[in-house]
Structure 1
Amino acid sequence: MKLINKISLWFLCIILVITPVTMAISHAGIKRKMIEFEVRRLLSVNDRVASLLQEGRPVDDFIRDREIEIATVRGPVPATNPQVIKRPGKVEGMREQELALFVASYYPLNGIVYKVTSHNYFINPNEFFSSMFITLLWKMLLVSIAVLISARILSRILFRPFKNTMEAIRHFNIRQKQTLQLKRSSTREFNELNCFIETMTNKAMEEYATAREFSENASHELQTPLAVLRTKTELLTQTSLDSQQAGLIEHMQTEISKLSNITKSLVLLARLENQEFNTREKIKFCRIAKNVIETYAYWADLKNITVTHNTGSQIFISIHPVLADILVANLMRNAIRYNEENGLIHVELTADYFRISNTGAPVTIPHKDLFRRFKKGSQKNEGVGLGLAIVKQICEVCNFRVSYAYVEHRHIFCVYFNESYLSELDMIPSNSSFQRVVFAEA
C-alpha cells in the first residue's frame, strides 16, 4: 500500500472515531443548554409574578396567556428553591414526544409563602438525535471525500522531492562511477534523507572501487607466480629424474593447477558479488548450452559417459554471455566429475528452466551444503569445491533459482529462470526413493 493511502486511511479512521464522540458531546451540550435556558426564562416569569404580588398589583393580565399557577403554602420555604421537574412524554394531539418542564418558586411575601409554578412544553432534545445522525453521515462523507482528494493533491506537491529521490536511486548504477546528485527540497526531512543517501552511495562506490581493484590485483599478482612455478616444474620434468622425484613434481603441478583454479574462482565470485556483469542483456542461451555440451563431450567420452540433451531452439534468457557459459560449464563439469564409469548425463533446456541430471553415488554431505564454498560431495574428488558456489552466485545475480535432488541413483540440478514457474511445476515425480528438493539459499 502506498504511503499516501496509509495516511488517508489513518485520517479516515480518526474521523470515524472522533465524529460520533463529538456528536454525542454536542447532543448532550445542546440538550443541557436548552433546558438551562428554559429554566432561566421560567424563573424570570416566576420572579415577575412575585414582584406583582409584593406590590399588590393584579397579576391576571400577566398570567393570562401563560401556564402559571399561584398557591399559598403553609410552613416555611422548602430547602430546595426553586424546584425543577422534567416530565418527558407525548402530548395529546402531538406526534412528536415533548418535554414538560415545571419550575416552582417559593416567595415569602407579607407573612405568606407563595408557590408560583410556571411550565412550558418544547420538543424533547432527544428527538434531535435522528437529524443530527443524518447530518453526521453527510459530514463524514464530505470530509472523507475532501481528505482523499486533498491527499492526492498534496501527494503530488509535498512528496514530489521523495519521488524524485526514488527515481534517481532507481537509475543509479555503481559501475558508472558517477556520484548521485539529489535535488534539494524545502522539507527538512527530505533533505536529511537525501544527504544520508548521497553519503551511503559515495561510500558504496568507494568500497566497490576498492574491492574491484583488489580482485583485479589479486588475479594478476597471484597468477604471475603460479605461472612461474608451473614453468619451473615443466623445466624440471625435462631433466634426468628418478621415479620418486618425477612423482613429486607431478604432484606439485597438480597442486599448482588447483591453486590457479581456486584463485580464478575466488576472483570470479568477487566480481559476481560486486555485480560487475550486465545481466539485463537477452542472449541466445540455447546456443551457448549446445556449445558447452559439445566442448565437454570429449571428456565425457574418456569416462565412457553417454551424454544426451534436449535443448529447445530460440530460447533467449537475460544473462551475461560469460556468466551463461560459466553456469553451464560448471554444471557439466560437476556432472562428469561426480559420475561413474559407463554413466549417463541428460541435459534439458526450456524457456523456464535448465536441468542437468547424471548417474552417481549419493553425496556424503548434507544437500543444503552443496552450494557452499569449498564443500564437495566427495572428498576423494579432485575438484576445489567452488563450482556450485559459483553457480549459486550467478543465479542470485540473475534472479534465478537453483535446486538439487537425488532421485533414483541420479543427481539432478535445475536452474529456474522464471520464479512463477515453480508454483506450477511438479519438479520430480513422487516415489519411494524421492528425497526433498533443496534450493540454494542466499
Structure 2
Amino acid sequence: MRLINKISIWFLCIILVITPVTIFISHSSIKRKIIEFEIKRLASVNNHMADLMQQKQPVDAFLKNREVAIEPYNGTIPAENPRVKRQLEKIEGMSEKEMALFVTSYHTINGRNYKITSHNYFINPNEFFSSMFVTMLWKMLLISAAVFISARFFSKTLFRPFKKTLEAIRHFNVRQKKKLVLERSSIKEFNELNCFIEKMTTRILEEYATAREFSENASHELQTPLAVLRSKNELLTQTELNSQQAALIEQMQIEINKLSNITRSLVLLARLENHEFAIEEDVKFCKVAKNVINTYEYWADLKNIRVTQNIDAKVYIKTNPNLVDILVANLMRNAIRYNEEGGSIHVELTQDYFRISNTGQPIDIPHKDIFRRFKKGNQKNEGVGLGLAIVKQICEVCNFRVSYAYVEGRHIFCVYFNEKYLSEIAAIPSRPGTQLMVFAGAEA
C-alpha cells in the first residue's frame, strides 16, 4: 500500500473516531444550554409576576399569552427555590411528544406565601440528535472525498522528488560505474535522504571497483605460479624417479590441480557476488543441458553410472549462457562424484524447473549446510566443496530457487525458474519419510 493511502486511511480513521464523540458532546451541550436558558426565562417571568403583585400593579397585560399559575402557599418556603420539573407530553395535533418545562417559584407577598408556576413547551432536545447525525454523516462523506482527492493531487506534487529518487535507484547499475546524482528538493527530509543515498552508492561503486580489481588480480596472479608449478612438476615426471618419488610427484600434481580449482571457484564466486554477469539473454536451456550431459557421460561410464534424461524442447530462460553452463556442470559433477559404483542419474527439464537426482548414501552434514562453502557430504571426496556454493550463488544472481532433498535413497537437486509453480507445489503435503527441503537462491 502506498504511503499516501496509509496516511489518508489513518486520517479518516481519526475522523470516524472523533466525529461521534463530537456529536455526543455537541448534543449534550446544546441540550443543556437550551434547558438552562428556558429555566432562566421562566424563572424571570415568575420573579416579574411576584414584583407586580408586590407593587399591587395590574398583571393582566403581563399574563397575556403566558402560561402562569398563581396559588396561595400555606407551607414554609422550601430551600430549593425555584423548583424545576421536566416531562414529555403529547399535545393534541402534534405527531411527536414535546418537552414540557415547569418552573415553580415561591415568594412572600404582603405577608402571604404564594406559589407561582410558569411553563412552556419546546422541541425535545433529543430530536436535534438525528439532525446532527445526518449533518455529521454528510460532513464525514464530504471530508473523506476531499481527503482522497486532495491526497492524490498532493502526492503528485509533494512526493514527486521521492518518486524520482526511487526511479533513479531502480535504474542504478553498479557495473556502469556511474555515480548517482539525485535531484534536489525544497523538502529538507528528501534532501537528507538523497544525500545519504548518493554517499552510499558512491561507496558501493568504490567497493565494487576494489572487489573487481582484486578478483582480476587474483585470477591472474594466482594462476601464473600454479601454471609454473604444474609445468615443473611435469618436467620432474620425465626424469628418472623411483616409485616413492613418483608417488609424491603424483600427489603434488593432485594438490596443484585442487588449488587451481579452488582459485578459479573463489574468483567465480567473487564475480557472482559483484553481479558481473548480465542476465538479460534468452538462453536455450535444453541445448545447454544436453551439451553438458554429453560432456560428462564419459566420466559417468567410467564409474558404470547409467544416465537417463527427460528434457523438454524449446525451454528458453532469461539468464546468462555461461552461468547456465556452470550451473548444470556443477550439478552434474556433483551427481557423478557422490554416486555409487553402478548407480544412476536422472536429469529432467521443464519450463518450470531443472531437476537432477542420483543414487548415493545419505550425507553426513546437516541439510542446511549443503550449499555452504567448503562443506562436503564426504570429506574424503576429491571435491573442493565449492560446487554447490557456486550453484546457490548463480541461483541468487539469476533469481532462481534451488532445493535439496534426500528421498528413497536418491539425492535430488531442483532449480526452479517459476515462482508461481514453486508456491503451488509448496502447498502440497510432503510424503511420509521425505526429509525437509532446504531452499537457497532468491529469498523465501
Contact 1:358 1:410 in 2 (8 A): yes
Aligned to 1:266: 266
Contact 1:96 1:123 in 2 (8 A): no
**Mapped pair 1:417 → 2:404:** no
CA displacement at 1:35 relative to structure 2: 1.1
1:126-275 counterparts in 2 under 5 A? 126-275=126-275
Aligned to 1:282: 282
Contact 1:67 1:119 in 2 (8 A): yes
| Distance across 2 between alignment mates of 1:172 and 1:108 | 95
CA displacement at 1:433 relative to structure 2: 6.0
Please identify, of 292-301 and 105-114, the stretch whose mean Cα deviation from structure 2 is larger. 105-114
Q: What amino acid maps onto 2:212 in structure 1?
A: R
CA displacement at 1:14 relative to structure 2: 1.0
Aligned to 2:20: 20
1:19-98 counterparts in 2 under 5 A? 19-74=19-74, 77-98=77-98
SS in structure 2 of the partner of residue 125 of structure 1:
coil
Q: What amino acid maps onto 2:140 in structure 1?
A: M
CA displacement at 1:121 relative to structure 2: 0.9
CA displacement at 1:431 relative to structure 2: 6.7
SS in structure 1 of the partner of residue 127 of structure 2:
helix
| Distance across 1 between alignment mates of 2:78 and 2:425 | 93
Aligned to 1:384: 384
Query: Residues 272, 158 of structure 1: CA spacing in aligned structure 2 closer, same or farther, 3 A cutoff?
Result: same
Q: What amino acid maps onto 1:377 in structure 2?
A: G
| Distance across 2 between alignment mates of 1:377 and 1:48 | 108
Contact 1:368 1:440 in 2 (8 A): no
| Distance across 2 between alignment mates of 1:112 and 1:355 | 113
CA displacement at 1:424 relative to structure 2: 3.5
Please identify, of 146-155 and 390-399, the stretch whose mean Cα deviation from structure 2 is larger. 146-155
CA displacement at 1:246 relative to structure 2: 1.3
Contact 1:327 1:394 in 2 (8 A): yes
1:351-400 deviation per Cα after TM superposition (whole angstroms, max 9, x unaligned): 11111122233323233322111111212210101101111111111111
CA displacement at 1:432 relative to structure 2: 6.8
CA displacement at 1:111 relative to structure 2: 3.4
Query: Residues 264, 124 of structure 1: CA spacing in aligned structure 2 closer, same or farther, 3 A cutoff?
Result: same
Contact 1:272 1:393 in 2 (8 A): yes
Q: How many residues align?
A: 442
SS in structure 1 of the partner of residue 103 of structure 2:
strand
Query: Residues 68, 144 of structure 1: CA spacing in aligned structure 2 closer, same or farther, 3 A cutoff?
Result: same
Please identify, of 76-85 and 5-14, the stretch whose mean Cα deviation from structure 2 is larger. 76-85
SS in structure 2 of the partner of residue 21 of structure 1:
helix
| Distance across 2 between alignment mates of 1:227 and 1:271 | 22
| Distance across 1 between alignment mates of 2:13 and 2:77 | 56
**Mapped pair 1:341 → 2:341:** yes
| Distance across 2 between alignment mates of 1:184 and 1:409 | 62
| Distance across 2 between alignment mates of 1:210 and 1:151 | 45
Aligned to 2:351: 351
CA displacement at 1:303 relative to structure 2: 2.4
| Distance across 1 between alignment mates of 2:207 and 2:131 | 69
SS in structure 2 of the partner of residue 440 of structure 1:
strand
Query: Residues 35, 190 of structure 1: CA spacing in aligned structure 2 closer, same or farther, 3 A cutoff?
Result: same
| Distance across 2 between alignment mates of 1:168 and 1:331 | 38
| Distance across 2 between alignment mates of 1:105 and 1:432 | 92
Q: What amino acid maps onto 2:133 in structure 1?
A: F
Aligned to 2:121: 121
1:195-214 deviation per Cα after TM superposition (whole angstroms, max 9, x unaligned): 22112211222222221111
Query: Residues 323, 427 of structure 1: CA spacing in aligned structure 2 closer, same or farther, 3 A cutoff?
Result: farther
Query: Residues 431, 108 of structure 1: CA spacing in aligned structure 2 closer, same or farther, 3 A cutoff?
Result: closer
| Distance across 2 between alignment mates of 1:114 and 1:363 | 109
| Distance across 1 between alignment mates of 2:256 and 2:394 | 26
CA displacement at 1:299 relative to structure 2: 2.0
Query: Residues 406, 80 of structure 1: CA spacing in aligned structure 2 closer, same or farther, 3 A cutoff?
Result: closer
Aligned to 1:332: 332
SS in structure 2 of the partner of residue 317 of structure 1:
strand
Query: Residues 356, 187 of structure 1: CA spacing in aligned structure 2 closer, same or farther, 3 A cutoff?
Result: same
1:106-139 deviation per Cα after TM superposition (whole angstroms, max 9, x unaligned): 3444434443321111111012222222222222
Q: What amino acid maps onto 1:175 in structure 2?
A: R
Q: What TM-score do the two structures reach when normalised by structure 2?
A: 0.93
Query: Residues 419, 76 of structure 1: CA spacing in aligned structure 2 closer, same or farther, 3 A cutoff?
Result: same
Identity of aligned residues (%): 72
SS in structure 1 of the partner of residue 382 of structure 2:
coil
| Distance across 2 between alignment mates of 1:427 and 1:348 | 22
Please identify, of 380-389 and 83-92, the stretch whose mean Cα deviation from structure 2 is larger. 83-92
Aligned to 1:406: 406
Query: Residues 308, 39 of structure 1: CA spacing in aligned structure 2 closer, same or farther, 3 A cutoff?
Result: same
Query: Residues 35, 132 of structure 1: CA spacing in aligned structure 2 closer, same or farther, 3 A cutoff?
Result: same
Q: What amino acid maps onto 2:147 in structure 1?
A: V
SS in structure 1 of the partner of residue 381 of structure 2:
coil
Please identify, of 134-143 and 383-392, the stretch whose mean Cα deviation from structure 2 is larger. 134-143
CA displacement at 1:430 relative to structure 2: 7.2
CA displacement at 1:298 relative to structure 2: 2.2
1:273-325 deviation per Cα after TM superposition (whole angstroms, max 9, x unaligned): 11111123221111211211122222222223232222222211121111111
**Mapped pair 1:302 → 2:302:** yes
Please identify, of 361-370 and 291-300, the stretch whose mean Cα deviation from structure 2 is larger. 361-370
| Distance across 1 between alignment mates of 2:430 and 2:166 | 46
Aligned to 1:396: 396
SS in structure 1 of the partner of residue 268 of structure 2:
helix
Contact 1:358 1:411 in 2 (8 A): yes
| Distance across 1 between alignment mates of 2:353 and 2:51 | 105
1:230-283 deviation per Cα after TM superposition (whole angstroms, max 9, x unaligned): 122122222222111111111111101101111111111111111111123221
Aligned to 2:106: 106
Q: What amino acid maps onto 1:227 in structure 2?
A: A
Contact 1:97 1:127 in 2 (8 A): no
Aligned to 2:8: 8
